[in-house]
Amino acid sequence: MIVDIKDVRKTYKGGFEALKGVTLGIKEGEILALLGPNGAGKTTLISTICGITNPSSGSVTVGGHDVVKDYRPARSMIGLVPQEINLEPFNKVIDVVTYSRGLFGKKANPAKIEEILKQLSLWDKKDARVMMLSGGMKRRVLIAKALSHEPRVLFLDEPTAGVDVELRKDMWDVVAKLKEQGVTIILTTHYIEEAEAIADRVGVINGGELLLVEEKAALMQRLGQKTLQVDLQAPVESVPESLAGYELELAEDGHALRYHYDTTGESTGITRLLGDISAAGLQLKDLQTEQSSLEDIFVGLVKEDAA
């Protein structure tokens, strides 16, 4: 485990409990997405690992170094891309990135800075003042700063919040490239498609608690509800009584029936359903199934948590 979080609690002054005992191990080289609604505790968790806030109790180690007692080696390994675009507006792009490298105690290395800026398509903007850049470009500058000291663990706090679709795809490409280089990436997001698109594992966090962490595929399979849609030759006004036991839904103005089933159950009931449909005298036109998305899983979990 390159990052090891043990029972971390954070209570802010005033009594608000932002983290209620989070335990999580992050493997070297993986991409972990922390998924949760606003105010779930995602940013507090990242801030605690990176040294911006101190944990009230519990411990975090990065590369085996405690982030509080042994903060120098721990923080040297970490790059942080914050959620807000926090940049010195009057400085040149290359200067703010070079500054970050210095701040992390790394010897100046113009070739490395050039490589990073090129990788992020910022090289032609290197002499531009930060305030002249577009929002998306500023976000790239934040990433360049975080990468300037060659971290082994990169935290991306809501990297694509308020970013257009094209740039979001670009950002995902950047993340994929970093993973190839062996960088461990932890990103927070409330966009489920983001976690679905790039994460190896997904953690769901809500109300300061980590509800689950699982391989993305396994998570989707385990909780994966599927839906079978049966398209009919001729529309029906209501579900025939003989099919009442299946809890079918009418769809597309009676041209289709929808059936929800669990792929992990002992039997899905599809064979029996199809038999019963033809027994009821309905003509099948087409069949389609769809996997429920992470979004459905997520909504289910958060609702369960609230209940």
Chain residues binding another protein by CB under 8 A are 12-13, 47, 50-54, 71-76, 78, 80, 82, 84, 86-91, 95, 99-107, 145
Question: For residues 100 and 206, which CB has a smaller minimum distance to another protein in the complex?
Answer: 100
How long is the chain? 307
Find out whether 26 and 2 touch, Cβ atoms under 8 Å.
yes
Torsions phi, psi of 186, nearest 5?
-120, 120
Question: For residues 75 and 216, which CB has a smaller minimum distance to another protein in the complex?
Answer: 75
**Amino acid in the structure at residue 41:** G
* Chain centre to alpha carbon of residue 117: 25
Question: For residues 149 and 168, which CB has a smaller minimum distance to another protein in the complex?
Answer: 149
Question: For residues 76 and 229, which CB has a smaller minimum distance to another protein in the complex?
Answer: 76
Question: For residues 148 and 204, which CB has a smaller minimum distance to another protein in the complex?
Answer: 148
E-only strand ranges, the chain: 3-11, 17-26, 31-35, 57-62, 65-66, 78-81, 153-157, 184-189, 201-206, 209-215, 225-232, 249-251, 256-262, 284-291
- Work out how close the CB of 16 gets to another protein at its nearest, in angstroms, rounded to a whole number: 11
**C-alpha–C-alpha distance, residues 261 and 156, integer Å:** 36
- Work out how close the CB of 72 gets to another protein at its nearest, in angstroms, rounded to a whole number: 4
- Work out how close the CB of 224 gets to another protein at its nearest, in angstroms, rounded to a whole number: 38
- Work out how close the CB of 69 gets to another protein at its nearest, in angstroms, rounded to a whole number: 13
- Work out how close the CB of 195 gets to another protein at its nearest, in angstroms, rounded to a whole number: 24
